[in-house]
């Protein structure tokens, strides 16, 4: 009898899992269940539709209905999984019409993602607080802009908050970003590197207020202002970008254990502590490749890699997920920012003693007319001299340098080895001395 694989969630992780399962098992019945109206779209692209670089939210649909038909995947849209029974090996669903169904499974993949987080702020039940997590969220924000919103307050200066802020400025809005911590991009960059990005954003007209906590949402039924750091701020649009939390309710109700990070605990096969049940993407825990401690780095790149591993295993193959460095990049106006591995702050939290090297250089020969500035920071474990992290801020060419340093960390390269790297040069493309190599030499000077 054909095996039945059920995947809860049909975005990056879920669709990748179903596709990988189908490649392994041509006969299995594979069912994807999602609460959303649209499956298989890119969440990462939402700010760029709001900003106008991408013309329509429909352009973000990576997997159209024809894809699911081609791979013989059964897709149940606008359907909620209400319960998982791991003893009976069933899931119970309810569709938008209220019809319920109980489906047995042989393998189950949980890809329930994460939900926008709202701290317990006074007045948070009021209407008019938007977040950016789904296509519908994006449509609401864009609709508000098209309805004439002139100003926005964004609460949170992480990646989504800043990318949304840039998008709204590009639409002509006056944008204020309020961040509780003393710096922007606190998960991604150290304070010295974040300062460069903040200065660039402020030059472009973004008002950034750090070390300010949102204390209250003001207004009758609808929010018209907030109190933050004792100051009243009015706006037409209020966007919650406080971060996200793993959506683990189904797992918890089913008795599937969570890990240290409060995401679903998994092993290297992305299997939970319950046999034949896997968890992937923003709701799942995995290991940090450097600290070997559990982490829940909620990135699309990680979601698809975990999905591929879990999908293969759910279909009877054997595949392992080695762990994460949480490499990430973004572009904010004319500046690119990237990270891989540990920041200096994360290394300190993990009790790893590090030495850092920072260099400011150019992306092309200094005399070349279109050369742009670039700054590279390397984080190196003092004892072993291994590279454990890197951050780069520049006008261009950040992504592939971050990727190269990600390879270096995964291969446990030492800073001494990086300093001897054989790199390419041409005036319109790069400097004679590669900035990554110069940063390595700065570390070596400190180690001497």
12-24 helix and 300-314 helix, angle to the nearest 10 degrees: 30
Q: How far is 251 from 277, CA to CA, in rounded Å?
A: 10
Structure tokens at 159: 């990646």
Contacts for 407 with CB less than 8 Å, ≥ 6 apart:
none
Any idea which architecture 334-447 has in CATH? 2-Layer Sandwich (3.30)
d(CA 131, CA 164): 10
- Chain centroid to CA 183: 19
Distance (Å, whole) CA 263 – CA 34:
19
Q: Where are the domains of the chain?
A: 4-38+61-115+245-314, 118-242, 334-447
Does domain 118-242 sit in CATH 3.40.630.30?
no
pLDDT recorded at residue 1: 85
- For the chain, residues with pLDDT lower than 50 are none
Our CA dihedral for 180, 181, 185, 188, rounded to 10 degrees, sits at -130
Q: In the chain, pLDDT over 70 holds for what percent of residues?
A: 100
Question: Which active-site residues does the annotation give?
Answer: 44
Per DSSP, 319 falls in state -
Cα distances from 239 to residues 132, 162, 188, 331, 344, in angstroms, run: 8, 11, 21, 20, 30
pLDDT at 82: 97
Q: Are 4-38+61-115+245-314 and 118-242 equal in CATH topology? A: yes
- What integer pLDDT is reported at residue 124 of this predicted model? 93
* pLDDT number for residue 166: 98
In angstroms, the CA 91 to CA 84 distance is 4
Q: Residue 107 is inside which H or E element, if any?
A: strand 107-110
Least Cα distance to 31 among 18, 13, 49, 12 occurs for: 18
Distance CA 19, CA 310 (A): 11
Closest CA to 321 of 270, 280, 263, 272: 270
- Report DSSP letters for 234-290, one per residue: E-SEEEE-S-EEE--HHHHHTTPPB-TTSSBP--TTSB-SSTTEEE-GGGB-EEBTT
For the 4-38+61-115+245-314 domain, the top CATH level (class) is: alpha beta
Q: What 3 state SS string does 369-396 have? A: CCCCEEEEEEEEECCCCEEEEEEEEECC
> Where is 53: in which H helix or E strand?
none
pLDDT at res. 429: 96
Contacts of 126 (CB under 8 A, 6+ apart): 217, 219, 221, 222, 223
Select from 243, 260, 247, 187 the least CA-distant residue to 13.
Answer: 247
């Amino acid at each position: 009898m054909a095996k039945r694989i059920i995947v809860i969630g049909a975005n990056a992780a879920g669709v990748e899992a179903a596709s990988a399962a189908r490649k392994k098992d041509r006969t299995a019945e594979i069912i994807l269940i999602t609460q959303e109206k649209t499956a298989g779209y890119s969440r990462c692209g939402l700010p760029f539709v709001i900003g106008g670089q991408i013309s329509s939210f429909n352009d973000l649909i990576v997997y159209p209905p024809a894809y699911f038909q081609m791979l013989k995947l059964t897709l149940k849209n606008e359907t909620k999984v209400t319960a998982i029974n791991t003893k009976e090996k069933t899931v119970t669903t309810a569709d938008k019409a209220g019809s319920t169904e109980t489906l047995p499974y042989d393998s189950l993949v949980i890809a329930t993602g994460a939900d926008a987080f709202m701290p317990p702020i006074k007045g948070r039940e009021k209407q008019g607080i938007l977040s950016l997590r789904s296509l519908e969220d994006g449509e609401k924000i864009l609709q508000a802009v098209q309805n004439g919103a002139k100003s926005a307050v964004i609460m949170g200066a992480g990646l989504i908050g800043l990318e949304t802020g840039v998008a709204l400025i590009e639409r002509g809005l006056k944008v204020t970003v309020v961040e509780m911590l003393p710096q922007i991009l606190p998960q991604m960059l150290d304070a010295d590197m974040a300062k460069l990005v903040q200065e660039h954003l402020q030059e472009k007209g973004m008002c950034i207020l750090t070390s300010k906590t949102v204390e209250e949402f003001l207004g009758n039924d609808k929010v018209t202002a907030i109190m933050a750091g004792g100051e009243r701020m009015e706006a037409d649009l209020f966007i919650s970008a406080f971060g996200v939390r793993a959506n683990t309710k189904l797992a918890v109700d089913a008795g599937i254990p969570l890990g240290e990070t409060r995401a679903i605990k998994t092993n290297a096969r992305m299997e939970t502590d319950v046999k034949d049940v896997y968890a992937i993407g923003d709701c799942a825990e995995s290991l940090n490749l450097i600290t070997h401690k559990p982490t829940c780095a909620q990135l699309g790149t990680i979601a698809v890699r975990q999905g591929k591993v879990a999908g293969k295993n759910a279909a009877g193959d054997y595949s392992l997920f080695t762990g994460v460095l949480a490499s990430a990049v973004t572009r904010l106006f004319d500046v690119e920012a990237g990270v891989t591995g540990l920041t200096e702050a994360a290394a300190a939290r993990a009790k790893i003693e590090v030495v850092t090297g920072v260099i400011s250089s150019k992306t092309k020969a200094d005399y070349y007319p279109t050369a742009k500035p670039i700054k590279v920071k390397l984080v190196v474990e003092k004892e072993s001299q291994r590279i454990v992290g890197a951050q780069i801020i520049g006008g261009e060419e950040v992504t592939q340098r971050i990727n190269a340093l990600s390879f270096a960390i995964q291969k446990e390269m030492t800073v001494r080895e990086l300093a001897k790297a054989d790199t390419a040069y041409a005036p319109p493309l790069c400097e004679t001395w590669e900035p990554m190599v110069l940063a390595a030499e700065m570390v070596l000077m400190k180690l001497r």
